[in-house]
A and B are shown apart, each in its own frame.
Chain A
């Protein structure tokens, strides 16, 4: 694709695509961000949640009298209080139900049991200690693989007639065709693998401030929501509150990564607390609460098989998944897809057939599953196939890069329909992998590795083991087409509203919401590109449901693919209207005009024309407009994407592994991403950097494991290890550009690409170093060391 010259604004910014410093930085650099815990209001009260210390137990009794007697406590709310309001149980995003406060039983360690509202947050926490709860302990279901055993304790006894822990069975692909492909294969490799439970852990935990005005009936909820409009509608549906009187406001969010999509008990409790006390009520959880109770991700036990000819042509892939959803099925994904987009697991290769079966089960763990930059479980899918391809390469003694190059989809196959029904919009995979190999110096790295192995074989043990790992991923982002995708019945289209003021300055109102992605800058650049208004003159407004059009929010890398499409189209509508106004002012036909650099000008007479700023003033002036043309210069649009967009990329990770300790050092990481044209390359690179750190963390450090009693072993940052500056290398990035044929801007979305694509590259690298077929993440020193002894352990349970 050719790069077109972009003009520069008076402020030195590109009027269109290009590197531009972020508008939002001004407040963050000064400590003037506006996060939920920064809120203060006159008379504001503070809530705190009492949580279950055990994983599974009947609640025999709750005595709140001592807490209520605390001089600073205003109210104590229990499940019994909520039952009287019909709010003890609420629907989840997957058409299950979840307890706001436990009534009959507690079902995971950390579950919400009571809510204290006090004058200050220290007193609220003091009062939690005064609540006396009597539990009758029940045996918990901790191991997902035993959840369906006959005689396993039944977790959801609240559901009438429920006699087991089964949630759903789901499949995709053609099983018979897949069996046929496998029947003629020369080589079949199978592998069990676990993508363990991880937690996204944004640096800001979740929180809310709720205010119910009893006189007007107006409910305002400020909260950490990645989907303010969806929250508003769900509050209306669940609580029976009139939707026109509910306002959800999300100001700055300190990172989301999918963790802040759902509605948490704390939000509902803040609302109930405000209704009960008549005051604004703030609830902000602490880190342990956040780690133990808010949405986790993954927890997929996968058995994968891959089949190939003896020449290394991959024929088919099939997988059985056991999905641990915790005690309530609360995953956030389009309704039709209980396993999210996992059935994109065929990845980036050409097959005859593929098939998957997924079974979801309840366990005595926190609910969630789709919540960590995973593009609705494409993380699990990419991990599966990229590990299987490496296992196949290992089995056949083929270089994993060669095996990939041989089997990657070819450019002429696009648009490509996968064996499980996805329609990849565009791709040119080979050059992307070759570019990553070029940056890495792949052949030299392999030569270095051979040298080290030879020296070690000759008895020189002074050097660490060296691993080179690859992954190639295809993402599917921008959910999504309304006819296929909805969440709780809400179609996944996004609105946009653009107003150009008389002086030519504009406001763009969007339904999506930034959690650090830099929307204020990127979306201003989209308007600049389409309308020629400098980005500094475009204010992007989001996060307030009273002031923005409806849409489903920011997650699944959908902001640029969906809201970005809406922004482009609404800007084009305004541009079309500007043409009519310019024609009226220039006394010519709109057909006589052409658009050039923010200006409608007469074809063949470029001196005669009107800039968008002049047109803005004319649109609001007394200029006589043609019949049927209203004044002002604004527009609205709802963008219903025709398909997902499919960004892709090739990653290479180089590791050094100390065979004595099992310690892994990520020496280099090369990431070549193709997300179509980049609106702001600086922001895109930043997104990729963050995702790569996630990949290193998940591959090497992060896991939420449980002991046999169901105790959460990752409940603090002392136990749940996140990568710091010391574990991350200096990322080496590259790009190729394959535009989306259907997106108005050709762009594809990138926010989650690196989180999705990088974990298998790290794991493949470590296993390449220690020359072991497979060991589950996280590859901690203990796990690497055990794997080298031929004895890797299960990372989801306490090490025994």
Chain B
């Protein structure tokens, strides 16, 4: 079937199988491999992207369901060579280790900040609890999102 979506600001049209999951569409068809896949049961949350500004588990969305919608992925966070505050926060607070959950954590964290620019640590913990991280023990992820809340307001160039 034919689908047309806006992905990271660009319109894409593809002929896809009706059963194709959005995560596979993004990763295998568009080669946007920043969003990851980690489970068969919608429990791990490493696949989180935005659909019309809301974080969704893209393993639980059929590509067909995203027809006509806007998708935003981790690849869109950096703008004009400058990292977004959420990215800087993760770097500065060591909010990532293996990096596998990181794109989902950042997309979830940014969605929270868009709704609540000054979240408490409890609110952050609640917001990110749909994504599992096996490396960090979460504390530095919480600090990273707090850092983004407290510090930058726009993308800045960082040399890493």
Contacts and interface: CB of A to CB of B under 8 A. Distances in A.
A517 B33 CA distance: 22
A694 B137 CA distance: 8
Nearest to B90: A29
Q: Which of B20, B35, B43, B97 has the most CB of A within 10 A?
A: B97
Interface string B126-142: 10111111111111111
Interface stretch (B50-58, B63-71, B98-106, B149-157): B98-106
Interface string B22-40: 0010011001111111111
A161 to B, nearest CB: 41
Contact of B75 (A31, A253, A718): A31
B18 to A, nearest CB: 11
Interface of B: 17, 19-20, 24, 27-28, 31-41, 43-44, 46, 73-75, 77-78, 83, 87, 90-92, 94, 96-103, 106, 121, 124-126, 128-142, 159-160
Interface of A is mostly: loop
Given A690-B97, A726-B125, A32 B135 contact: no
B19 A725 contact: no
Contact of A29 (B19, B87, B126, B139): B87
Contact of A203 (B83, B106, B124, B132): B132
Interface string A92-136: 000000000000000000000000000001100000000000000
A71 to B, nearest CB: 14
Interface in A184-231: 200-205
Contacts of B140: 686, 689
A255 B27 CA distance: 20
Interface stretch (A19-27, A54-62, A436-444): A19-27
A254 B100 contact: yes
B133 A203 contact: yes
Contacts, number: 178
Contacts of B159: 11
A33 B137 contact: no
A685 B139 CA distance: 10
Interface of A: 11, 21-33, 35, 37-38, 40, 121-122, 200-205, 252-255, 257, 286-288, 515-518, 682-683, 685-694, 716-718, 722, 724-726, 728, 730-731
B16 to A, nearest CB: 11
Contacts of B94: 21-22, 682-683, 685-686
Contact of B97 (A38, A205, A516, A692): A516
Contacts of B31: 40
B74 A255 contact: no
Q: Which of B40, B41, B96, B99 has the most CB of A within 10 A?
A: B99
Contact of A255 (B40, B100, B121, B126): B100
B74 A286 contact: no
Nearest to A687: B97
24 contacts: A25-B90, A25-B91, A25-B99, A29-B77, A29-B102, A30-B87, A31-B32, A31-B35, A31-B74, A33-B100, A38-B27, A121-B28, A200-B134, A202-B100, A203-B132, A287-B40, A287-B41, A516-B98, A686-B97, A688-B137, A690-B134, A717-B44, A725-B128, A728-B137
Contacts of A718: 41, 43
A731 B38 CA distance: 26
B100 A122 contact: no
Contacts of A200: 134
A67 B138 CA distance: 44
Interface of B is mostly: loop
B69 to A, nearest CB: 20
Given A28-B102, A31-B103, A122-B19, A722 B132 contact: yes
A30 B74 CA distance: 7
Contacts of A253: 98
| Cβ-closest 4 pairs across A and B | A31-B34, A516-B98, A28-B99, A254-B100
B127 to A, nearest CB: 9
A227 B159 CA distance: 32
A32 B135 CA distance: 18
Given A22-B94, A31-B103, A287-B39, 19 more contacts: A29-B91, A30-B74, A30-B77, A30-B87, A31-B75, A37-B36, A203-B101, A204-B100, A254-B100, A286-B39, A287-B41, A516-B97, A686-B140, A690-B134, A692-B137, A717-B39, A724-B138, A725-B125, A725-B142
B97 A517 contact: yes
A777 to B, nearest CB: 18
B137 A693 contact: yes
Given A32-B34, A728-B138, A731-B139, A202 B91 contact: no
A17 to B, nearest CB: 16
A715 to B, nearest CB: 9
Contact of B136 (A11, A21, A37, A689): A689
A692 B77 CA distance: 31
A724 B128 CA distance: 8
Contact of B134 (A31, A255, A730): A255
A40 B24 CA distance: 13
Contacts of B125: 725-726
Nearest to B126: A726
Q: Which of B39, B124, B134 has the most CB of A within 10 A?
A: B134
Contacts of B27: 37-38
Given A37-B37, A203-B132, A287-B44, A728 B91 contact: no
Contacts of A716: 39-41, 43
Given A38-B33, A203-B98, A287-B38, A690 B136 contact: yes
Nearest to A697: B134
Contacts of A32: 34
B138 to A, nearest CB: 4
A40 B31 CA distance: 9
A730 B142 contact: yes
B97 A518 contact: yes
Contacts of A726: 125-126, 129
B41 A725 contact: no
Contacts of A685: 94
Nearest to A721: B43
B83 A29 contact: yes
Given A29-B91, A287-B38, A726-B129, A689 B33 contact: no
A203 B46 contact: yes
A205 B17 CA distance: 25
A26 B160 CA distance: 5
Contact of B98 (A254, A286, A725, A730): A254
Given A29-B87, A717-B43, A725-B138, A23 B97 contact: no
Contacts of A730: 121, 139, 142
A653 B88 CA distance: 32
A623 B46 CA distance: 56
Contacts of A203: 36, 38, 44, 46, 98, 100-101, 132-134
A257 to B, nearest CB: 7
Contacts of A517: 97
Contacts of B90: 25, 29
A66 B120 CA distance: 57
Contacts of A252: 98-99
A517 B134 CA distance: 12
A35 B19 CA distance: 25
B110 to A, nearest CB: 12
A374 to B, nearest CB: 15
Nearest to B17: A122
A352 to B, nearest CB: 39
Nearest to B97: A516
Contacts of B100: 33, 35, 202-204, 254-255, 516
Contacts of A202: 98, 100, 134
B97 to A, nearest CB: 4
Contact of A31 (B33, B126, B130): B33
A27 B102 CA distance: 11
Contact of B36 (A35, A257, A722): A35
